[in-house]
Amino acid sequence: MKSTTDIRRQCRLELTLVLTMTVLLAAASSAQNTVGTTLISDDVSSGYVLFSPNSATQTYLIDRCGRTMNQWESDGRPGLSAYLLEDGSLLRTRKLLTGAFIGGGIGGMLERFNWNGELIWSDTLATESIHQHHDIAPMPNGNILAILWEKHTAEEAIANGRDPLLTPEEVWVTRIVELSPMAGGGSEIIWSWSPWDHLIQHFNAALPHYGEPANFPHRFDVNYGAVAEVVGPGIGQDAAFDWLHVNSIDYHAERDEIVLSSRNWDEVWVIDHSTTTAEAASSTGGSSNRGGDILWRWGNPLTYGVGAQEDRQFFGQHDAQFIEDGLGITVYNNGASRPEGPFSTVHLIEFPLDTSGSFIDPDGGVFGPDEPNWTYPDEPDLAFFSSNISGYQRMANGHHLICQGADGRFFELNEAHQIVWEYINPMTANGPLSQGSNPNQNSVFRATHIALEHPGILEQDLSPGDPIELNPDLADCFVNSVYEIYTERFSPTVWPIPSRDFLHIEWPETMPMACEVVFYTPQGIECARTPHGPSLRVDIQTWPPGLYIGILQRCGDPLSSQAPLTFKFIIQ
């Protein structure tokens, strides 16, 4: 049986959904808007969007009209990700330059702010030998997984089989660490993993790790992607140092696995987290009994010496995320250096698993599947392209939130692949842009959908503030537009009003599938629930006199992207 607190929370979810949906657009777009919300339709999802502009120190939570629901202010720019935690606090990375490392996606600090914007914890992960960058992954136990660069000398690399002609003076290798935050600041590293412990090389038989990469697909070829020098406009030697350039990390607790995305290798990797640190440095142990070797890799089989160039699937991809059940991932495929031309795509890729749930070994071939299970867009769209950063999130209602990062553009697709919402980040290094101005220098690493049922917002004041842009134009955000359109089509007939013994409810024949009707007092206390049907007769003889609210619940999705159907009645 639900407690009063649980009932009130559920009621708040329903009422929040109603209030959220009442401010959405009925019109398809706002032609004059160049920043902020530029397009919205009645099929847009409820909920909010979290993002940290790359050139600013703020992190924002906005509604679909672009109004600020909350914001957090730091003393530094992001480095690069941010997460809303279940207690309503914000965990973000922060850019810190020490001179020891200078590379794309550089961070160096972690910060945690409470809902009110107070800094409650921080940690510095920047020394002469290591530096945090790009992304982190909050874990259910309160710990944090972080991506680090770890500096190795040229001599170390050559001793491990690297071709000297492909070796710069430094080699930065990925290290993943699990941090246990300490009260008052800082953290303890309680687990770590590095590709440096899982090498293969076919350069010098007299050195360690010798073998054909194709025969060791669960290891990292120390010579793949290696260069001694990088030359080009705006490119520093750090591009040669940064061997793998891992740009995202995600964790799935039930499978106890980590997925990593390597831009330089055009590949994603899944590794086992159930190991000890010692096992993670070996090839045995953990649930998979592979230690820290790669469990599954995908995107570019050339990295392990099989396949051909046409087998390459990824082109500088970002943001590999587990899907909810952990049996696949979503990825933003940037498309840089794509043979057909520069255009981006997003993908869903399901894991090839055996009946026990373990990854199927390629057995000398290419890791499956042969192609993504889902791709957007179906045909190349040269207007949809971001050469770097960016992200993709598959939402619980079947919609898709995409961040075209270099342009600071977020858009939502419905299940028919129609764009139902578009937003252009208006925040730059010089402050917010004015509505109508040409957006520039407004890149965003990632945008995250925050559902109405997210625990971090259930107890928060979500009164909307102003949009971020100057001189905002919300003329098309008609109050009640979506809710009124929806309820006009499906409003029930309720009688008698006022009621005394029995309440009769009849629904239109066009009513969508639903499961039950839930009744609340105005204070949010659940009174009863009854299965939905075209005609209902509810016994209310024992209910106290007063005002009551009925809410129709959808089957399997009580917090659907559509506005809920509600009605009121009085008992005398």
Short-list 121, 137, 204, CA closest to 176? 137
Question: How many Cβ atoms are within 10 Å of 511's Cβ, its own excluded?
Answer: 17
Q: At what angle do helices 481-490 and 4-21 cross, to 10 degrees?
A: 100
Q: Average pLDDT, whole number, for the chain?
A: 89
User: CA 260 to CA 318: how far, in whole Å?
Assistant: 9
* Lowest pLDDT segment from 6-10, 278-282, 462-466: 6-10
User: Nearest-CA neighbor of 396 among 23, 5, 46?
Assistant: 46
**Predicted confidence (pLDDT) per residue in 189-244, tens digit:** 999 999 999 999 999 999 999 999 999 999 999 999 999 998 776 668 899 999 99
Half-sphere exposure of 137 (CA within 13 A, CB side): 25
Q: Which residues touch 361 (CB under 8 Å, ≥6 apart)?
A: none
Phi and psi at 171, nearest 5°, equal -125, 115
Question: Quick one: average pLDDT of 14-29?
Answer: 39
What is the rounded distance in angstroms from the CA atom of residue 146 to the CA atom of residue 159? 28
End-to-end CA, the chain: 28
| Mean pLDDT of all residues in 76-99 | 98
Tens digits of residue pLDDT in 502-527: 888 887 766 555 678 888 876 667 88
Distances (CA, A) of 209 to 68, 194, 219, 222: 54, 15, 10, 9
Contacts of 128 (CB under 8 A, 6+ apart): 98, 100, 151
What Rg value do the Cα atoms of the chain yield, rounded?
26
Cβ atoms < 10 Å from Cβ of 368: 16
10 Å Cβ neighbour count for 233?
4
Burial class of residue 339 in the structure, from the number of CB atoms within 10 Å of its CB (0-12 exposed, 13-18 middle, 19+ buried): exposed
Judged by average pLDDT, the poorest of 94-103, 252-261, 550-559 is: 550-559
pLDDT band at 25 (very low <50, low <70, confident <90, very high): very low
Least Cα distance to 317 among 300, 302, 304 occurs for 300
pLDDT at residue 568, as a whole number: 79
The reported pLDDT for the residue numbered 234 is: 64
Separation CA 539–CA 28 (nearest Å):
43
Phi, psi dihedral angles at 558 (to 5 degrees):
-65, -20
